[in-house]
Structure 1
């Protein structure tokens, strides 16, 4: 160790702090060397400096690093035929925004091509929206002292997905680095020929899915430390739903007992209050260690599914489509009863998958009674197809319901059916 008296140490410190930052650094290094070679009791080895031919060489390192951010966005086209018939060539439908690299992006879907020349094809394009906290694409550059157009560099791929959710190789288009400004678009004009798409199995129940992989390349910047190249450790997936499900299954610390259809279900007041405004209001006025709530007009299995959704935000897995379809209407009614909007939407979307000639009348009736606008639209789009309309009118119940509920729609659709038969 270096042994110095207190006076000399004080003199060194005063000398250092009286200088500018750059001077301090140089002076500190010289003082270190002075102490190293002038102190007879020094055994310190200077590992951060090199003395070569009497010249002091300071070593440091930095790196120019370009980082990226990637996102996959799925665009599901539901009602392909109806959309194709209602949107002309050159016009597009914009997807909901998704955020990558601090910017909003959209997918532009052209059901009849982005121009009359490409009207036999489906076109898709990637569009850049506004940057985060920047209302326009003009930004002030303090270095050059004038306004510059802000641009974003990105790689992207458009892919048609099969029923398993995997890209179909002939219809996957990769774009290397493209430069976007606000409102700028890029993408395959001839993504897939409509006639080909309509023959493929990937268009099922009048719907198909397009995936867009976007990688935003951020502006390179200098960093003091060089990464060691090892990939960052990804955090494990959230297990909150699993822990809450365990709390429901064990009934530990439960303070609410529901009596439903001869069965008792234990639950937790705080979880119920957070999930349903109706239950929050009911339980706020209740007192006691354990509150007993009687639920009428609901089967035990439906209430159990409702309760599990409150804890896990997911519906229980059921074996067989018939069992799932039978439970969904009851869950929609329960969601309306307890004002759980997301549960209602999830069940309504699943009910749309079961619309056919046999279920049409029941589904349309249910949609009207429970204000399920998405399900109602699905039913009416279903009978846009002459073959589907024929299957509905051949069912006495379906025909009677259509006449009573939607006579004007039936009149138009029968005229369409007659034209189709003549062809």
Structure 2
């Protein structure tokens, strides 16, 4: 008989604290008139038992960063060397420092910031995330606990397999030229609209297991079904994502899938440009997506962007369908 194998284990555990601070920069156009190297500072905030501040140099902290906004995180207290280690991120700030500060001298170039949706009403926001590591602890054990339970992460793959195989399906949806087999109880549990259609007063005939879907493309319905079963969306081609998220937002609102609607709203905020903003703004207004609407208004807050969009067919549709939105834009720019 072979001797029993020796088993041991240990763990390195970081003694860390995390938090974040929101900083709003107002009056951006006036602040850029400050000379190179001059800073403005946030109020102090505490994370991990230490006092921090954010320093902003609207015209760069040095000659190499003139014409840029420079941002630095500063540990504003006396700390013994080697006591701790701070890590922070403000938008795209990354890195690690052992003592006083870290940041980006070229955090944002003026031209890029002024053309982005982040600058709105002459102000923009920065979120600075800080993780402060005071040290590390080592935990040692000769043997793992024999009754230790390893809990795997949440996984709805089996429900996705159920959709893919159609096993036990009791309803079929016809969308255009395609059909999709599904499970009434799964759909009803996820969507109150499906619940009413399949089990409530809106149910058609008890002998009719075929439901026709009108006004929706087959690939959109398929993606929505994937979300219903797996709480995630299928992979999409990059060039199709913008249009798909618009269609999925409408589908999510139709079937009261609130999380899917919020996901689409968040995604569409990143697809706003001169070619898409009019259609996305109309969509946001029609489906009460306030964050998406504000993102569109932020982009159109730049008069050059608004002028380019006003020449498009999409703007004509927006004006015809939602004249109140165009009036809001006009008031924002004091247009006549």
Q: TM-score range by the shorter chain?
A: 0.5 to 0.7
Structure 1 position 192 matched with structure 2 position 104: yes
Cα pair distance change 1:401/1:283, threshold 3 Å = closer
Note if contact 1:402-1:410 (Cα within 8 Å) is conserved in structure 2: no
1:263-412 equivalence runs, <5 A: 263-285=178-200, 291-321=209-239, 323-395=240-312, 397-398=314-315, 401=318, 404=323, 405-412=325-332
1:206-235 Cα offsets, whole Å, 9 max, x none, are 5688654455779x99x9xx52499xx996
Structure 1 position 205, deviation (Å): 4.5
Give the Cα–Cα distance (whole angstroms) in 1 for the partners of residues 26 and 275 of structure 2.
22
Note if contact 2:175-2:214 (Cα within 8 Å) is conserved in structure 1: yes
Match of 1:254 among 151, 166, 169: 169
Match of 1:227 among 136, 141, 146: 141
Give the Cα–Cα distance (whole angstroms) in 1 for the partners of residues 188 and 161 of structure 2.
19
Structure 1 position 90, deviation (Å): 5.1
SS, match of residue 279 in structure 1: helix
Structure 1 position 308, deviation (Å): 0.5
- 1:181 aligns to what? none
Note if contact 1:160-1:172 (Cα within 8 Å) is conserved in structure 2: no
SS, match of residue 95 in structure 2: strand
Note if contact 2:278-2:315 (Cα within 8 Å) is conserved in structure 1: yes
Number of residue pairs matched? 285
Note if contact 1:335-1:341 (Cα within 8 Å) is conserved in structure 2: yes
Q: TM-score, normalised by structure 1?
A: 0.52
Give the Cα–Cα distance (whole angstroms) in 2 for the partners of residues 394 and 306 of structure 1.
34
1:349-382 Cα offsets, whole Å, 9 max, x none, are 1112221112222222221111111111111100
Note if contact 2:48-2:132 (Cα within 8 Å) is conserved in structure 1: no
Tell me, which stretches of 5 or more residues in structure 2 are unaligned? 1-10, 32-39, 62-68, 76-82, 119-125
Structure 1 position 387, deviation (Å): 3.2
1:96-245 equivalence runs, <5 A: 112=56, 121-122=70-71, 124=73, 156-159=86-89, 172-175=95-98, 188=101, 191-193=103-105, 196-199=106-109, 205=116, 212-215=130-133, 227-228=141-142, 238=153, 240-245=155-160
Q: TM-score, normalised by structure 2?
A: 0.63
SS, match of residue 71 in structure 2: strand
Structure 1 position 175, deviation (Å): 5.0
Cα pair distance change 1:341/1:227, threshold 3 Å = same
Structure of larger gyration radius: 1
Give the Cα–Cα distance (whole angstroms) in 1 for the partners of residues 53 and 186 of structure 2.
41
1:327-348 Cα offsets, whole Å, 9 max, x none, are 2222111111111111011111
Give the Cα–Cα distance (whole angstroms) in 2 for the partners of residues 93 and 273 of structure 1.
50
1:109-160 Cα offsets, whole Å, 9 max, x none, are 95858xxx9xx7535589xxxxxxxxxxxxxxxxxxxxxxxxxx98541146
Cα pair distance change 1:393/1:66, threshold 3 Å = closer
SS, match of residue 181 in structure 2: strand
Note if contact 1:81-1:206 (Cα within 8 Å) is conserved in structure 2: no
Cα pair distance change 1:412/1:68, threshold 3 Å = closer
Give the Cα–Cα distance (whole angstroms) in 2 for the partners of residues 238 and 308 of structure 1.
19
Structure showing greater relative contact order (alpha-carbon pairs closer than 8 Å, 6 or more residues apart): 2
* Cα RMSD for the two superposed structures: 5.1
